Every structure is written in C-alpha cells, then in structure tokens.
Amino acid sequence: MNKLRQSLESMSMTESNEANRESIQKGIADYKKLEICDLPDLSDPDPDNIVLVELTTINETRPPIPKKGVTINWNSSIEWLRIYPELPWGKPILSGKLDGETNRHWIEVKKKLSDFAGKPDWDVDIDVIETLIKDVASENYTFSSFDKTSLRDYMEHYNKDDDQKTIEFYKLIRKIAHLATRADALFPEGIPVLRSCSESVVDDLRPPFTNGAQVLDVSVTLSQEQCASLLACAFFNLFGPLRGKFPKFAFKDLLETTYDDELQTLVRQKLRFVFAYFSSVTSHMPTGIVSFRRVSLGTFLDKDMWEKLTKDSKISECRLHVAIGQKIEDQTNHIQMDFANKMIGGGTLTKKGSAQEEIRFLTCPEMIVSCLLCEEMDVYEAIHIVGAQTYSNYSGYGICRIFDFPLEYFLRKKPK
C-alpha cells in the first residue's frame, strides 16, 4: 500500500498537465482515506460481510451449525440465490409469482440421490451411477456421449481387476450423493453470491462502505461442510447457469468422456484430486470455515492514472525473496497470489486447464466454490479466499505432466 501511495505521489510531481496533476492529487487524497482491512471481522459480522454459520458453535469436534435470519445491504453487490432453477432446492416461480409449494423438482432429485446413497454394495455398479448422474443433472446440461463416461475410464485405469477398490469407489460415490442431499438443510436462507461491481455501480455506493470512499468490500463465509455439500451438488451437476457472467459450477465437462487421449489423461488426473478430496471429507468432515471476499476499487483510479501507475512501477523497488525448489503451496503465513483468469477458477472444471490457477484449485477444492459465489472480475477487482485447506499434492506443470502421485499420497492432510 505504501508503495502505491509513493508511486502516486511521484506521478504528481512529474506530470506536466495541470488537469492530470489535479486528478492525481485527488486520487492520492482518496487513497489515503482507504482502510481496507486484511480480513473482515467475523466476530462482528455486518450486512456486507455475510457469515452463514453460528460462530459460537465453531469447535474442533464437529462442523458449525448453519445460521438463520441472515440479512444483507439492499444496495450491496451481494445477491441471494433463493429461486429455482438457480438454486436447485429454491422456490419455483409460476406465472410471475413465487410458488408457495415445495420445489417438486428438488424432492424428486433428493429422493433419487437418497435412494442411491442407501443402496447396498451388491446393488451398485457403473451403469447405475451413470444413470443417476444423467437423471438428476440440471435441465441445462445434456450428456452427448453417455455410453462411456470419464468415471468408467477412471475405474478401468485405477481399479482394473481390483474388486475391493471398485467397491470402495462405489461407496465413495454414494457418500457424495448423501452429501448433496444435505444442501437444503445447510443453506436454510439460500446462497449469497458476490456480483461484479462495475464503475457505474460503485459510483452509487455510499456509507457504510469504507470511509465513504468508492470502494466495495464484501465477503461470504461458509463452513467447510457447506463447501463440501456445494461441491457434491456440482459433482452431480445440480446447479444450472446463473444470471450474469458466472463461471460454470458443474463437473459435467470432467464427467463426459473425450476421445482425445491426451485430454482424457488430464481429466483422469483431475478426477484423482476430486476423489481424494471427497474421500477425506466424507471420512472425517473438517470443522473450519472458508471466507470468500470481493474487493473493488471502482472509480478510485481512472484508466489513465492506472496505466501511468503500472507503467512506472518497477519490480526492483519491491523487496523480494526467491525460494528455489519450493512450491507456493508449501509456504505458510503468506498471501498466495494468482494472476490468471477473470473468471475465477479458470479451466479447473474443464478438460484443458492445467496451469497455476487450476493446480491451486484442485489441491484446495474448497476454492472451487468461488465459481458459484463470484461473478466475473472487473479490471479493478480482486477476490480473496481465506481458510481453504490443502488436500492433495502434485508434480510437474502443464497438460499431462501433473497430478502423478499414487492416490494414497494425496490423502496426507496439509495445513490451510
């Protein structure tokens, strides 16, 4: 922050155009007013920092209890998902009015998932699993090549000729289905999403935002159990596309097979991460919380000022330490930065993505929940994820050169 202020002050001294000088000086004055805290104060949540659990119930033995009666600011960029089909268990709208009846679609989906979760070992095979995924998926998703899914390819590659591994795999899918059925109970108020805050929206913001400045700072905090349930819903493709520019929150692309051997290999490796995560949380549900925060500077810096600032910035002015042979994931008590896709998550849930962002999200799958909660980022916006746990490890970088450890290696728990 101090470097940014110094750069702005330097700009003001070298700029010859008086109009620009005044604009920059105003920017400096506005900047000095900003008090963007490192983290929201969860002990005193407000309508701009939503907490979906009862904080007093957080302990090391069981997940915190979902919170009821949550409110948000009417002029905030936070918006509730409460209506079907955006929210699978939400109330449907009929004839332009909210239908007071229970969501019949969710009742049917939940029953199919519950029935499957309760099946004995001898009554489950890959055909049953594929049929279930096809039946419960959102109407927005159709599977064009369901004669052979990536799950079938995964089993043939990792569980071939091993009946015990196959049985354990089927048990895991049933546990994921049970986790999905709990979503409506874990989110009694719906799901708050953090929409993009364009300049025109930020212009209209007023206190209680930071010192009256044109800055948006909002967050949503979930339990790790709530994150797990949402990811289970995404595995079964229960969420359809949301209004606006949101990333896709569905595993459809990973579950649908491809006849490109290179891409199928990558998909198979991605699924190893997914199943390592679900194996861990369904065996012992973690009891922590994860915060998703969106910060927007809005019109604080105009385009010319921003370009001038970034052009004059020199990395040599920053204090840097380069650690050779270490991964960003292995560093503790540091902010880990990712400059990648404006659609958070990048290609994590696609057949192709395998760079920094995708690797990071696959080792910490709770981060994938941001694909549901966070709309496309504007140029002045950033998203912070705090508290996501590392469940897996990897080697290499790029397509077909990552995720190459035995599954047992992935299950070694690592810190948040």
* pLDDT per residue of the chain (416 residues) written in tens, 0 to 9: 344 334 334 433 344 445 544 544 554 444 444 444 556 677 777 778 899 999 899 988 999 999 988 877 666 678 888 888 889 998 876 655 555 566 888 999 999 999 999 999 999 999 999 999 989 988 777 766 556 678 988 888 887 778 888 999 999 999 999 999 999 999 998 999 998 875 444 444 433 333 344 567 889 999 999 999 999 999 999 998 787 889 989 999 999 877 788 888 889 889 999 999 999 999 999 999 999 999 887 655 556 666 666 666 555 566 666 777 777 777 777 777 777 789 999 999 998 888 889 988 998 999 999 999 999 988 778 899 999 998 888 777 665 444 444 444 444 555 56
pTM given for the model: 0.83
In a domain, 320, yes or no: yes
In a domain, 6, yes or no: no
In a domain, 190, yes or no: yes
Catalytic residue among 329, 338, 376, 378: 338
Tell me the C-alpha to C-alpha distance, in Å, between residue 288 and each of 35, 124, 168, 362.
Answer: 27, 33, 27, 19
In a domain, 301, yes or no: yes
Question: What letter represents residue 100's amino acid?
Answer: G
344 contact partners, CB below 8 Å, separation of at least 6: 247, 370, 371, 374, 377, 383
333 a known binding residue? no
User: Strand, helix or coil at 80?
Assistant: strand
Catalytic residue among 358, 366, 375, 381: 358
Query: Which residue range forms the structural domain that includes residue 291?
Result: 34-410
341 a known binding residue? yes
In a domain, 383, yes or no: yes
Active site residue 358: yes
Q: What ranges in 140-260 are assigned the alpha helix state H?
A: 150-158, 163-181, 183-186, 199-203, 224-235, 252-255
Catalytic residue among 86, 130, 256, 357: 357
Burial string for 39-59 (b: 16+ CB within 10 Å, else e) reads ebebeebeebbbbbbeeeebe
In a domain, 18, yes or no: no
In a domain, 16, yes or no: no
Tally the domains of the chain: 1
How big is the chain by its Cα radius of gyration, in Å? 23
Phi, psi of 386 (to 5 degrees): -125, 125
Please tell me the predicted confidence (pLDDT) of residue 41.
74
Helix (H) or strand (E) holding 261: helix 261-283
Active site residue 199: no
Query: Distance of alpha carbon 26 from its chain centroid, rounded?
Result: 36
Active site residue 307: no
In a domain, 24, yes or no: no
394 a known binding residue? no
